[in-house]
């Protein structure tokens, strides 16, 4: 994700903790902390991409006392809705109609922008009885790239029910029977076949069928095959007493288990029963057979020859099409809008609900929402030398003061690292960072004061009463120009009600090694750097891994105390207080190093 | 690198503050003032162009927020509380040609909406807690629901509906992700401190922008 500098990502260790030996969580905690002391989080590790999240994406499981990232929660769908018309689609309809909007919502097959229905007639001369110029014919058009269904020769009679109308019109405007009508047609044909089976098979493949000018549409092919295998299954399973011999509904769980039984019985009771007769394959077009048609290939080659490259589709455009055989722009169809879901989230370990939005589509509220940012401190970083940039000014005006995208190599730069505490108890923080960053560009990092306390997050009324005080603190820290505290090792920079700032000194590394200067690295390491000084994309981004450990004493929750000391009571439950600690890695993206000294 | 701590590039008194706490830059170009409503504590930065003169020709429906149905001027732009319109933005109500005439439609922007610098807005409606990056173009009649983040330099095509909770980017705009559950919640929950924000600035994207508004002088 492209975040502007400076940013902070938080690491969820769910993958690593899953790979560690699954010992009792409480007992192994100190041991694991020690292990983590040894192991440094490397933000450049490809795996890190999948464990780093912005704070607002993290949830917190109060039972596991762990942050939960999108990887270690399980999602459950509450409902489906169309992102364009915002109508909820019942789940029964999802099963029958699929996961696309069946109203008038379409996306442009060229650029994915959502399409609008317009009238082909120019707006009428204003008359009193006119209904706003809603006279057909209509067409779908893209407001962004101006592709329209007229490009594929499709017009509509009405401005509503586009899906039904579109199902009946092929590209070029040829009206074909709807899938329902086609189904009926097919059943009729099959019945006819069944009646006079003596008719030679070759008869079925009429020359017109054998040589269609275009392949059958995907939906027709699917419904033909579906009907064929349905009939084959019911034929193959007459011995199954539960089978009603017809109309197996694949979407119902009972018939699904029936089908599964069918398979398992053939395998387990093989010796008891005869082998089932092998199912025959589709052998006519009504059954879903697609005979190879060389003329189609020839036509494709011809189209390539005459229209050239610009007539073909890009891979993305091709993937967006519902039919996998679409090759040329004249075969494009408008894309019915994919539905979206509203989802609740559960802890994958203990199954507790972590977030549950209200099911109404229009509501943005949550019934349950356990946020990570209410449980772990927020780390924010910014350059010390400049005031907080005003986001309302364009970056190019130079009012930002500090250019995070142009860090000078070799020049010690001070950053202000602020931790704010969301908890109602004061916390003790221990920060740790590797002295040089991993990767090809080695930057030196020093946290001036790695151990400090952050005040409790007192409730909202205290905040309101002491707002003047916090404000004063804030201005002191944002205003380093006038009589500021010195950058001093072992001392915090500033603190407020529930936040503390410390200084982070960074010496950005050199993108190109300087000959004869190994920059404090061992000669061997410098040589290594020299050997592979070829930089990859984003190697110049300065990301600092920081290990954060918080310790605090908290009131033992009543139910926890009742739930016996077996679990947490061990951890010093004296006086109704218990000691808690939490630790995690995070990554501070402080900027981009400019090339050359 | 260090420069004097004057963050104001403009001379003193850059903003005119109204009774309800709106801050309007003296350098903003506002036309059709009578057709614009600001909800209070809303910031209109320098070089912003609000086209209030492009108002509906028909009288606004009586359900408009003007209380008694007197002969009030039609509303063309209505902006809610604590919304920040950054420098260089153009806010222009959408229009449609119908019956041979151009008709403008009133635009509504909700509360706590941040609109980044040099963005052009012609949406028909933007709900609350929306963060729009710099250099975006929102084409006419787009509808942006609550809790949406639009990344910088996005072009939202005309008539696009962006459902709530989306992260949108690209030209044309597509939904590229979802905002997290913690969207707009500053650290410390209800009692978020003065430095709760992501850059230590007391506000977060999609959250309450009061602190940001207070800091603009
Ligand atoms: Zn996780
Ligand atoms: Zn729809
Ligand atoms: Zn398009
Ligand atoms: Zn859990």
Q: Is residue B182 a contact partner of residue A372, using CB atoms and an 8 Å limit?
A: yes
Q: Could you tell me which of B69, B131, B178 has the C-alpha nearest to residue A345?
A: B178
Q: What is A276-329 written as a DSSP string?
A: PPPPPPP-SGGGT-----HHHHHHHHHHHHHH-GGGBPPHHHHHHSSSTT--BG
Position B4 pLDDT exceeds 70: no
Nearest residue of B to residue A463, measured between CA atoms: B191
DSSP conformation letters of A33-75:
HHHHHHSPP-TTSGGGGGTEE-GGG-EEETTTTEEE-TTSEEE
Give the pLDDT mean for A44-63: 88
At A25 the pLDDT is 44
Around ion ligand 1, residues with a beta carbon closer than 5 Å are A 12, 14, 69, 71-72
A245 pLDDT more than 50: no
3-class SS at A462? Answer: helix
DSSP for B103-137, please give it: EE--EEE-SS-EE-TT-EE--SEE-SS-EE-TT-E
- pLDDT at residue A201 above 50? no
Question: pLDDT value at position A235?
Answer: 78
Which residues in chain B are closer than 8 Å to A6, comparing Cβ atoms?
199
Domain range spanning residue B143? 21-60+69-214
- The DSSP H or E segment spanning B208 is none
Report which of B140, B26, B125 is spatially closest to residue B80, judged by C-alpha positions: B125
Q: Cα(A173) to centroid of ligand 2, in Å? A: 24
B82 touches chain A (CB under 8 A): no
Closest to A422 (Cβ–Cβ): which among B118, B165, B189?
A: B189
Place of tokens 């011809």: A302
Which of A285-299, A465-479, B134-148 is the least confident region?
Answer: A465-479
Residue A149 DSSP symbol: G
Q: What confidence score (pLDDT) does residue A498 get?
A: 86
Q: Burial of B208 by CB count in 10 Å (0-12 exposed, 13-18 middle, 19+ buried)?
A: buried
pLDDT at residue A191 is higher than 80 = no
Any domain includes B105: yes
Mean pLDDT of A42-52: 82
- Of the candidates A459, A111, A92, A110, the residue with the CA atom closest to the CA atom of residue A102: A92
Q: Is the pLDDT of residue B207 over 80?
A: yes
- pLDDT over threshold 50, residue A233: yes
Instruction: Give the pLDDT of residue A428.
Output: 94
Cβ neighbours, 10 Å, residue A271: 5
What's the token pair of residue A77?
A: 């769908």
Q: Decide if A155 contacts A120 (C-beta within 8 A).
A: yes
For A595, the token pair is: 């090339």
- Dmax over CA atoms of chain B, in Å, equals 60
CA distances to A45, A110, A152, A172, B172 from A310, rounded to whole Å, are 40, 12, 16, 20, 20
B4 vs B12: which has the higher pLDDT: B12
Whether the CB-CB separation of B164 and A434 falls below 8 Å is answered with no
- Residue B23 pLDDT greater than 90, yes or no: yes
Share of chain B above pLDDT 90, in %: 66
Q: Is A407 left (phi over 0), alpha (psi -120 to 50) or beta?
A: beta
Whether A431 has a pLDDT exceeding 90, the answer reads: yes
Residues A264 and A102: their CA atoms lie apart, in Å, by: 38
* B114 and chain A in contact, CB less than 8 A: yes
Retrieve residue A184's tokens. 């009926």
Is the per-residue pLDDT at A248 higher than 70? no
> Angle between the A253-268 and A218-236 helix axes, to the nearest 10 degrees?
50
B121 located within any domain: yes
For A477, residues 6+ apart whose C-beta sits below 8 A from its C-beta are A416, A418, A493, A494, A496, A501, B195, B200
Lowest mean pLDDT among A87-91, A123-127, A348-352, A503-507: A123-127
Determine the Cα–Cα distance for residues A330 and A170; give it in Å rounded to an integer. 11
Q: Given this model, what pLDDT does residue B25 score? A: 95
- Does residue B81 belong to any structural domain of this protein? yes
Does the pLDDT of residue A481 top 60, yes or no? no
**For residue A140, what pLDDT is reported?**
94
* Range of weakest confidence among A93-102, A112-121, A272-281, B207-216: A272-281
For A68, A70, A376, A377, the CA distances from A15, given in Å and listed in that order, are 11, 12, 19, 22
What pLDDT, on the 0 to 100 scale, is given for residue A521? 52
Which of B71, B86, B33 lies closest to B55, judged by CA? B33
Q: Is A335 helix (H, G, I), strand (E, B) or coil?
A: strand
Q: Helix (H, G, I), strand (E, B), or coil: what is residue A117?
A: strand
Least confident range of A127-141, A288-302, B45-59: A127-141
Measured in Å, residue B172 CA sits from the centre of ligand 3 at 8
d(CA A241, CA A247): 15
- pLDDT tens digits for A2-13? 578 888 999 998
Angle, nearest 10°, between helix axes A218-236 and A179-195? 40
Residue B46 has pLDDT above 60, yes or no: yes
More confident residue, A254 or B124: B124
Q: Give the nearest partner residue to A123 out of B3, B98, B134, using CB atoms.
A: B98
- Would you say residue B39 lies in a domain? yes
- Ligand having the closest approach to the CA of A109: 3
Whether residue B163 lies within 8 A of chain A, CB to CB, comes out as yes
The more confident residue out of B71 and A15 is A15
pLDDT band at A222 (very low <50, low <70, confident <90, very high): confident
pLDDT digits (tens, 9 = 90+) for A69-114: 999 999 999 999 999 999 999 999 999 888 999 988 999 999 999 9
B192 falls within a domain: yes
CA A152 to centroid of ligand 3, rounded, Å: 14
Q: Please report which confidence band the pLDDT of residue B6 belongs to, taking 50, 70 and 90 as the band edges.
A: very low
Structure token digits, residue B112: 């706590």
| CB-CB contact of A504 with A447 (8 Å) | yes
Pure H helices in A196-268: 201-204, 207-210, 218-236, 253-268
pLDDT at A383: 86
The reply to whether B28 falls in a domain is: yes
Cβ neighbours around A382 below 10 Å, total: 24
The answer to whether the CB atoms of A474 and B202 lie below 8 A apart is yes
Q: Cβ contact (<8 Å) for A340 and B164?
A: no
pLDDT in tens, A503-536: 999 999 888 766 655 555 555 555 555 555 567 7
* Res A208 pLDDT > 60: no
Measured CA to CA, the distance from residue B135 to residue B88 in angstroms comes to 9
Whole-number Å distance between alpha carbons of A527 and A363: 60
A56 → closest Cβ in B86, B180, B196? B180
Which chain A residues contact residue B88 at CB under 8 A? 394
B196 and A378 within 8 Å at the Cβ level: the answer is yes
What does the block give as tokens for A498?
Answer: 């529930």
How many C-beta atoms lie closer than 10 Å to residue A534's C-beta? 7
How far apart are the C-alpha atoms of A391 and A411, rounded to whole Å? 27
Contact B201 A501 (CB under 8 A): no
Of B60, B64, B25, the residue nearest B42 (C-alpha) = B25
Cβ-proximal residues to B33 (8 Å cutoff; 6+ apart), any chain: B52
Calpha distance B79→B64 (Å, rounded): 13
More confident residue, A132 or B120: B120
Q: Which two tokens stand for residue A574?
A: 């004296």
Structure tokens at B159: 């008539």
Residue of B nearest to A117 (CA): B159
Q: What is the pLDDT of residue A45?
A: 79
Query: What is the distance in angstroms between the Cα of B68 and the nearest Cα belonging to chain A?
Result: 29
Please state, rounded to an integer, the average pLDDT across all residues of chain A: 77
Task: Assess whether pLDDT exceeds 60 at residue A461.
Answer: no
From residue A183, alpha-carbon distances to A167, A194, A222, A223 in Å are 14, 16, 11, 8
* A383 or B79: which leads in pLDDT: B79
How many structural domains comprise chain B? 1
Q: Which of residues 20-59 of B touch A (CB under 8 A)?
A: 43, 45
How far are the Cα atoms of A40, A220, A343, A534, B50 from residue A51, in angstroms, in the given order? 14, 44, 21, 27, 44
For an interface test with B, which of A113, A128, A425, A483 has the most B Cβ atoms less than 10 Å from its Cβ?
A113
**What's the pLDDT band for A215 if we cut at 50, 70, 90?**
low
Inter-CA distances, A165 with A103, A171, A177, B89, B153, Å: 11, 12, 11, 42, 37
Domain chopping of chain A, boundaries? 7-22+31-58+377-391+400-465+478-549+585-592
Q: Which residues of A touch B174 (CB under 8 A)?
A: 112
- For A560-572, write each residue's pLDDT tens digit: 555 544 444 444 4
How confident is residue A494, by pLDDT bands cut at 50, 70 and 90? confident
Q: Tell me the percentage of chain A whose pLDDT exceeds 90.
A: 32
Alpha carbon A367 to its chain's center: 22
B181 domain-assigned: yes
Q: Which has more confidence, A325 or B137?
A: B137
Residue A277's φ and ψ, nearest 5 degrees, are -60, 135
Give pLDDT, residue A523. 53
Mutation site, B46, B110, B175, B188, interface A, largest A CB count within 10 A = B188
CB contact under 8 A, A462 and B191: yes
Kindly tell me if the per-residue pLDDT of A202 is higher than 50: no
User: Global pTM?
Assistant: 0.80
Say yes or no to pLDDT of A258 above 60.
yes
More confident residue, A597 or A535: A535
Least confident of A35-39, A257-261, A423-427, A439-443: A35-39
How many A×B Cβ pairs under 8 Å? 213
Per-residue H/E/C for B155-201: EECCCCEECCCEEEECCCCEEEEECCCCCCCCCCHHHCCCCCCCCCC
For residue B36, give the CATH number of its domain.
2.160.10.10
> Tell me, what's the pLDDT at A285?
80
Question: Which segment of A192-196, A321-325, A363-367, A390-394 scores lowest on mean pLDDT?
Answer: A192-196
pLDDT band, residue A1 (cuts 50/70/90): very low
Q: Is the pLDDT of residue B191 over 50?
A: no
Evaluate if residue A187 carries a pLDDT over 50.
yes
ipTM of the complex: 0.84
More confident residue, A21 or A52: A52
* pLDDT score at B105: 95
- Looking at residue A314, what is its pLDDT? 93
In a domain, B15, yes or no: no
């Amino acid at each position: 994700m492209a975040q502007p500098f400076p940013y902070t990502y938080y690491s969820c260790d769910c993958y690593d903790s899953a790979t560690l030996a699954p010992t009792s969580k409480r007992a192994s905690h100190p041991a694991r902390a020690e292990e983590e002391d040894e192991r440094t989080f490397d933000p450049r590790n490809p795996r890190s991409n999948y464990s780093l999240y912005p704070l607002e994406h993290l949830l917190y499981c109060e039972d596991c006392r762990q942050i939960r990232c999108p990887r270690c929660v399980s999602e459950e769908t509450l409902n489906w809705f169309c992102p364009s018309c915002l109508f909820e689609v019942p789940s029964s309809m999802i099963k029958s109609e699929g996961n696309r909007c069946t109203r008038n919502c379409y996306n442009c097959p060229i650029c994915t922008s959502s399409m609008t229905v317009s009238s082909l007639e120019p707006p009428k001369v204003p008359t009193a009885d006119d209904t706003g110029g809603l006279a057909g014919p209509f067409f779908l058009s893209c407001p962004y790239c101006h592709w329209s269904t007229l490009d594929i020769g499709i017009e509509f009679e009405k401005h509503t029910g586009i899906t039904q109308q579109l199902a009946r019109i092929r590209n070029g405007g040829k009206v074909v029977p709807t899938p329902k009508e086609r189904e009926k047609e097919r059943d009729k044909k099959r019945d006819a076949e069944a009646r006079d089976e003596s008719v030679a098979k070759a008869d079925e493949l009429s020359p017109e069928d054998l040589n269609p000018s275009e392949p059958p549409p995907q939906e027709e092919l699917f419904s033909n095959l579906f009907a064929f295998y349905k009939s084959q299954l019911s034929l193959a399973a007459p011995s199954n007493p539960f089978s009603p011999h017809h109309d197996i509904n694949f979407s119902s769980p009972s018939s699904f288990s029936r089908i599964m039984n069918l398979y398992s019985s053939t395998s387990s009771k093989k010796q008891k029963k005869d082998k089932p007769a092998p199912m025959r394959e589709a052998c006519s077009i009504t059954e879903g057979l697609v005979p190879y048609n060389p003329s189609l290939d020839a036509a494709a080659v011809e189209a390539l020859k005459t229209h050239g490259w610009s007539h073909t589709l890009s891979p993305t455009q091709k993937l967006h099409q519902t039919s996998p055989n679409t090759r040329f722009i004249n075969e494009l169809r408008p894309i019915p809008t994919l539905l979206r879901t509203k989802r609740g989230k559960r802890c994958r370990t203990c199954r507790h609900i972590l977030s549950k939005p209200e099911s109404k589509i229009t509501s943005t509220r949550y019934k349950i929402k356990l946020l990570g940012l209410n449980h772990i401190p927020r780390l924010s970083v910014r350059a010390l030398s400049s005031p907080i940039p005003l986001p309302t000014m364009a970056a190019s005006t130079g009012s930002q003061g500090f250019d995070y995208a142009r860090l000078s190599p070799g020049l010690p730069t001070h950053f202000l690292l602020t931790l704010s505490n969301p908890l109602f108890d004061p916390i003790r923080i221990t920060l740790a960072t590797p002295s040089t960053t991993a990767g090809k560009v080695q930057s030196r990092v020093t946290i001036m004061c790695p151990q400090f306390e952050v005040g409790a997050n007192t409730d909202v009324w205290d905040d309101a009463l002491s707002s003047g005080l916090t404000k004063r603190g804030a201005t002191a820290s944002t205003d380093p120009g006038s009589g500021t505290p010195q950058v001093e090792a072992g001392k915090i920079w500033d603190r407020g009600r529930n936040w503390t700032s410390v200084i982070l000194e960074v010496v950005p590394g050199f993108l190109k090694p300087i000959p004869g200067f190994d920059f404090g690295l061992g000669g061997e390491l410098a040589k290594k750097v020299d050997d592979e000084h070829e930089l990859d994309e984003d190697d110049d981004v300065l990301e600092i891994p920081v290990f954060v450990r918080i310790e605090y004493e908290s009131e033992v929750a009543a139910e926890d105390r009742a739930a016996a000391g077996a679990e947490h009571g061990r951890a010093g439950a004296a006086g109704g207080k218990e000691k808690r600690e939490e630790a995690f890695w995070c990554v501070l993206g402080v900027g981009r190093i400019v090339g050359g000294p | 690198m260090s420069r004097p701590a004057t963050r104001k590039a403009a001379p003193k008194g850059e903003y005119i503050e109204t009774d309800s706490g709106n801050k309007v830059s003296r350098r903003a170009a506002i036309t059709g003032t009578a057709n614009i409503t600001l909800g209070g504590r809303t910031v209109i930065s320098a070089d912003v162009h609000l086209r209030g003169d492009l108002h509906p020709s028909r009288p606004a429906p009586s359900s408009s927020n003007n209380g008694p149905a007197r002969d009030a001027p039609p509303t063309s732009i209505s902006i809610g509380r604590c919304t920040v319109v950054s420098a260089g933005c153009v806010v222009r109500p959408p229009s449609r040609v119908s019956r041979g005439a151009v008709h403008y439609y009133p635009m509504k922007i909700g509360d706590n909406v941040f609109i980044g610098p040099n963005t052009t807005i012609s949406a028909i409606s933007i709900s609350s807690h929306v963060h729009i990056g710099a250099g975006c173009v929102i084409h006419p009649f787009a509808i942006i629901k609550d809790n949406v983040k639009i990344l910088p330099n996005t072009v939202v095509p005309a008539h696009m509906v962006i459902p709530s909770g989306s992260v949108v980017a690209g030209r044309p705009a597509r939904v590229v992700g979802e905002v997290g559950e913690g969207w707009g919640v500053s650290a410390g929950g209800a009692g978020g401190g003065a430095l709760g924000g992501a850059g230590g600035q007391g506000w977060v994207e999609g959250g309450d922008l009061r602190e940001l508004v207070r800091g603009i002088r």
